[in-house]
């Protein structure tokens, strides 16, 4: 399986790598205990600075998605799918809370916020 990065995209490259590995774990394309390329290999193939790939791997390791076993290499953890789901819900929750805080500060009531949320959700799910 391949990953593709766009160096001119607004999203930082290391986040693109993290996101695509998350997606691969979630979709099952990367199975538990699957080996990942070394930082050197991935950085060389993508023509990126090694620190960029190392940063992505560090973030994935902190999230509990991958495990670096020294000379043995880097592997997808058995609990990776659960950890990815946790990361995604965690991120979604942080975004929602930030938005709700903004709306509350602007003086909107709970009912107004709920109505707007339900309306936007219907619109987006219909589109998607």
Partner 1 sequence: MTEWIDFSVYAAMTAIYWFVSAHWAAAMALQMAGDRNQDWLTANREHARTLLFSRWLVGSRWFRWSCYAWGAVSLSILLAIQIGVWRQVLSTATHAGSRWEVLKDAHSTLLIVGLLYYFAVIVVSSRRLAKDVPLPERRRATLTPRTVSGFVPRWFRMATYALIGVHLAAWVVVGTLGLYSAPDFWVRSAGPVTFTGIFLVIAHAMVHLRASDTLGVPDRRLGVYFVFGSLIYAQLMFALRLYGEVVGPSFDVDRALHLTLSATLVLGMLLLAFVPRALKPALYDPA
Establish if 32 lies at the interface with partner 1 (CB under 8 A). no
Establish if 65 lies at the interface with partner 1 (CB under 8 A). no
Which one, 6 or 127, has the nearer CB to partner 1?
A: 6
Binds partner 1 (CB under 8 A): choice among 36, 56, 66, 84: 36
Least distance between partner 1 and beta carbon 38 (Å): 6
Q: Please answer whether residues 60 and 21 qualify as being in contact, where contact means their C-beta atoms are separated by less than 8 angstroms.
A: yes
Structure tokens at 28: 């099952």
Structure tokens at 125: 């799910």
Specify the pairing of strand 35-36 against strand 66-68.
Answer: unpaired
The residue assigned the tokens 């965690």 is 90
Binds partner 1 (CB under 8 A): choice among 19, 23, 46, 61: 46
Structure tokens at 9: 């995209």
Establish if 73 lies at the interface with partner 1 (CB under 8 A). yes
Structure tokens at 91: 């991120």
Least distance between partner 1 and beta carbon 32 (Å): 14
User: What is the rounded CA–CA span in Å between residue 27 and residue 91?
Assistant: 19
Structure tokens at 89: 């819900």
Least distance between partner 1 and beta carbon 76 (Å): 10
Interacting residues toward partner 1 by CB under 8 A: 1-8, 21, 24, 30, 35-38, 40-42, 44-48, 73
């Amino acid at each position: 399986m391949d990953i593709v990065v766009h160096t001119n995209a607004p999203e930082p490259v290391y986040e693109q790598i993290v996101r695509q590995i998350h997606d691969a774990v979630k979709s099952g394309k990367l199975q538990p205990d699957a080996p990942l390329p070394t930082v050197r290999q991935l950085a060389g193939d993508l023509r990126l600075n090694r620190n960029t790939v190392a940063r992505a791997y560090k973030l994935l390791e902190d999230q509990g998605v991958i495990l670096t076993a020294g000379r043995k290499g880097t592997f997808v953890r058995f609990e990776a799918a659960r950890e990815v789901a946790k990361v995604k819900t965690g991120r979604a929750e942080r975004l929602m809370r930030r938005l709700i805080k903004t709306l509350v500060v602007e003086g909107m009531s709970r009912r107004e916020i709920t109505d707007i949320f339900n309306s936007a959700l219907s619109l987006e799910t219909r589109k998607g």
